[in-house]
Amino acid sequence: AAMECLLAKCVPCITDCVMGELEKMGTRHRLALRLAKDPRFTRLTCQHKGIYADDCICERVQQHKCYIVCTNDKDLKRRIRKVPGVPIMSVARGMFKIERVPEQIDRVPIKSNWGKDK
């Protein structure tokens, strides 16, 4: 569904810290854990020990600004917004929402038939 929203090929990634946090959450979040273990997700290994998943994501995004962070966590969104050039994707009311799309998207010509007689 993310590929349809972005109109591009994307590779979903998940860090070891996020996987560990999902495993600690127990049976209530077992669907999220099962989705995260999907073989289509790329697993990113972490070099640090015992760090909170939000800190891990923020640190990785600040080092490499090539990610789109997908989250519904309000605190994580607030922290990611402080990093320039990193878009945020979330789900609201059954639809995907993308914040802060890069400026280059304005230069893509969009053809429309709106306003033309048929």
Q: How many domains does the chain have?
A: 1
pLDDT tens per residue across span 95-112 = 888 886 655 544 444 444
What's the one-letter identity of residue 73?
A: D
Residue 115 inside a domain? The answer is no
Instruction: Provide the 10 A C-beta neighbour count for residue 3.
Output: 11
Which domain does 14 fall in, by range?
1-99
Residue 105 inside a domain? The answer is no
Residue 11 inside a domain? The answer is yes
Residue 53 inside a domain? The answer is yes
What pLDDT shows up at residue 108?
44
Q: Which residues of the chain have pLDDT under 50?
A: 105-113, 118
Residue whose pair of structure tokens reads 């959450």 in the numeric block: 25
Helix (H) / strand (E) element for 43: namely strand 42-44
